[in-house]
Structure 1
Amino acid sequence: MSTLTNKAPTPASAAKPPRQPRTKPERPIWDEEPGAAAKAGKIGVLAVVVLAVLGPLYTIVLTSISSQATIMQAGGLVLVPGEISFAAYQQILNGGVVTRAVLVSVGVTATGTALSMVVSILCAYGLSRPGSFAHTPILFTLLITMFFSAGIIPAYLLVSGLGLINTYWALILPSCISVFNIIILRGFFMGIDRGILDSARIDGASEWRTLTQIVLPMSKAVTAVIALFYGVGYWNAFFNAILYINDSSMNPLQVVLRSYVLQGVSVPGQVDVGTGAAAGPALQMAVIVLAMIPILIVYPFVQKHFTKGVMIGAVKG
């Protein structure tokens, strides 16, 4: 005879605990959506920065295309547009000293950047390969040069001993290699997947073919940034020219800019007021504009790679 046991019914709340509402994980304060005051503050700071950058640029460009009367009325630098004149650009680009200096700077920058990129890429790739010849001593020697230098006099004696005084190579070779750029390239090359490089070696690819057809196409961002670093360095360099160049016809644009703007040397061919020639401030500002144009043209094409290239090269080492 079976006996039935009576069990008291249990409430649903006792059988199953209530479901707790899901709460979003707390985010760091820098990930939170900024409020209206924070947005207004950011806009204000950005506006001040933009004005601080564009204000002097606006004054320089406007002064360079202003007539003598407008410049004399403004007292030097023009803030309010007046009579427009391109006499300053016509005067400095009329086959004189500035034109030759521009050609020298373009040639030195193009040749120096290409040579520096070739040497830096080869050095960085060799140092990134495990088991490469004298890997540690070479890397240690390069790192020492980042913190210690011989000085100006030994550098001048070395350039003079090599017979480079008063040659264009004196503007390129002393600053051909940047250890900082080599370290960035090496860090990026070491971050490339080893499986890709091992597959290339299994397929019979040489080190040169691996570098040119696999590594470099994967390194467009970092190589573009390093090329920009070298190009800007060569374009803005003037100290090597002051040390090693004695012929004024071989001076790059930055030396001419330093002479005309900072030292107040008059531009050859400048005519007195009233003859229709450009005024001194217009000529000086025109030289400054010419010095800025190449960087302003090149930078927008490299800017998209700038942050990516520097960060990847710095982190993946």
Structure 2
Amino acid sequence: MSFIPQKRLSLGDYINYTLVTLISLMCLAPFLYVVSVSLTDPEVYVPFKFNIIPEKFSLDSYMYLLSTNSFLSALKNTIYITIVGTILNIVVTFTMAYGLSRKSLPGRTIILYAVVFTLVFNPGIVPNYLLVQGLGLINNHWSLILVALTNAWSLIIIKSFIEALPYELEEAARIDGCNDIGVFLRIIIPLSKPAIATFTLFFAVAHWNTYFNALIYLTDSSMWTLQVLIKTLVIDSGSNAIGQAGATGDQAALPQETIRMASIVLAILPILVVYPFLQKYFAKGVMLGSVKG
């Protein structure tokens, strides 16, 4: 039996591993604190006391949040925007990127210049707000979806990815009688699963974390997204933000800090649950467009 000699770690390796471990713990500590406070029983909660493991576990804060109309409404709004927005993002971005990858497209160069132009110049907040207002989308969830159907960076990356796919497959499909739509649906889309999974995650996270646009376009609290509601809870210390409807006397007496921390955990949890299912595609997709064969 032969043994493969293992490389001995140098002093520099030990220093690097130690630094990386310490930095990882520093990044993880705030999250652990948030989870710990959210799970701490209100009877033993002490403000500003750092505990990795709660002295006494309790789900009262979570039960309270999930029983309030305001939080459930914000959660429903966020889920709707994320699902609809992500689907439209994928459809619009991939169809436009496929069109721009075809050199026979009339006006292709002008469109590409227009796309790149938006990477350098942005109209700003006021023109965007006037556009949304002119379209009658104030206090409408479509104001968060239509203004973010795609972006220049995603278009350029996906266009480069499609151009790197073997052209022989497209030629074979056309010989079999496929038109442009057939090539796109039967060749490009099946080969683009890593790209689709990666950008689905990117777009979904962006929609789920939508904050600034929701803050300026949605003035009706019933239309708020989860991030705007959490901002009101955490930054504005708005104890009435989630309402008292349906709360018992014990629930109304819950510490505001545990409720804030529970709301943060609930906002992060869906992305943490979805990511492992897309991780294998995400690992392949992070290098999209970096190498063109």
Whether the TM-score (by the shorter chain) exceeds 0.5 is yes
* 1:268 and 2:243 are equivalent in the alignment: yes
The size of the alignment, in residue pairs, is 285
CA displacement at 1:41 relative to structure 2: 2.8
8 Å Cα contact 1:71-1:77 kept in structure 2: no
In the other structure, the counterpart of 1:128 is 101
Partner Cα distance (1:112, 1:144) in 2: 24
Which deviates further from its counterpart, 44-53 or 252-261?
Answer: 44-53
CA-to-partner distance for each residue in 1:69-123, whole Å, 9 max, x for gaps?
3222x54654452121111011110042111111110110000000011000000
8 Å Cα contact 1:127-1:186 kept in structure 2: yes
Partner Cα distance (2:77, 2:251) in 1: 31
Which among 141, 148, 152 is matched to residue 175 of structure 1?
A: 148
CA displacement at 1:175 relative to structure 2: 1.6
CA displacement at 1:68 relative to structure 2: 1.9
The alignment partner of 2:40 has SS state of coil
**What amino acid maps onto 1:104 in structure 2?**
N
| 1:149-160 matched pairs, under 5 angstroms | 149-160=122-133
* 1:64 and 2:1 are equivalent in the alignment: no
Following TM superposition, the consecutive aligned residue runs of length 4 or more in structure 1 with deviations greater than 6 angstroms are 270-276
The alignment partner of 2:282 has SS state of helix
8 Å Cα contact 2:64-2:251 kept in structure 1: no
| 1:25-64 matched pairs, under 5 angstroms | 35-64=9-38
8 Å Cα contact 2:244-2:252 kept in structure 1: no
8 Å Cα contact 1:166-1:244 kept in structure 2: yes
8 Å Cα contact 1:143-1:179 kept in structure 2: yes
CA displacement at 1:164 relative to structure 2: 0.8
Which among 272, 284, 291 is matched to residue 296 of structure 1?
A: 272
State TM-score, norm by structure 2: 0.90
CA-to-partner distance for each residue in 1:6-52, whole Å, 9 max, x for gaps?
xxxxxxxxxxxxxxxxxxxxxxxxxx956343442343133223312
The alignment partner of 1:55 has SS state of helix
State TM-score, norm by structure 1: 0.84
Which deviates further from its counterpart, 143-152 or 51-60?
Answer: 51-60
In the other structure, the counterpart of 1:3 is none
CA-to-partner distance for each residue in 1:172-222, whole Å, 9 max, x for gaps?
111221110111100000001111111111111111111111111111111
In the other structure, the counterpart of 1:238 is 211
Partner Cα distance (1:225, 1:274) in 2: 44
Residues 80/227 of structure 1: CA separation in 2 closer, same or farther (3 Å cut): closer
The higher radius of gyration belongs to 1
CA displacement at 1:276 relative to structure 2: 7.4
* 1:190 and 2:166 are equivalent in the alignment: no
8 Å Cα contact 1:87-1:277 kept in structure 2: no
Partner Cα distance (2:145, 2:216) in 1: 13
Q: Provide the aligned C-alpha RMSD in A.
A: 2.2
In the other structure, the counterpart of 2:54 is 81
CA-to-partner distance for each residue in 1:52-71, whole Å, 9 max, x for gaps?
23211111111001122322
* 1:199 and 2:172 are equivalent in the alignment: yes
Residues 96/34 of structure 1: CA separation in 2 closer, same or farther (3 Å cut): farther
8 Å Cα contact 1:146-1:179 kept in structure 2: yes
* 1:280 and 2:256 are equivalent in the alignment: yes
**Higher relative contact order structure (alpha carbons within 8 Å, sequence separation ≥ 6):** 2
Residues 139/69 of structure 1: CA separation in 2 closer, same or farther (3 Å cut): same
**What amino acid maps onto 1:85 in structure 2?**
S
Identity among equivalent pairs (%): 35
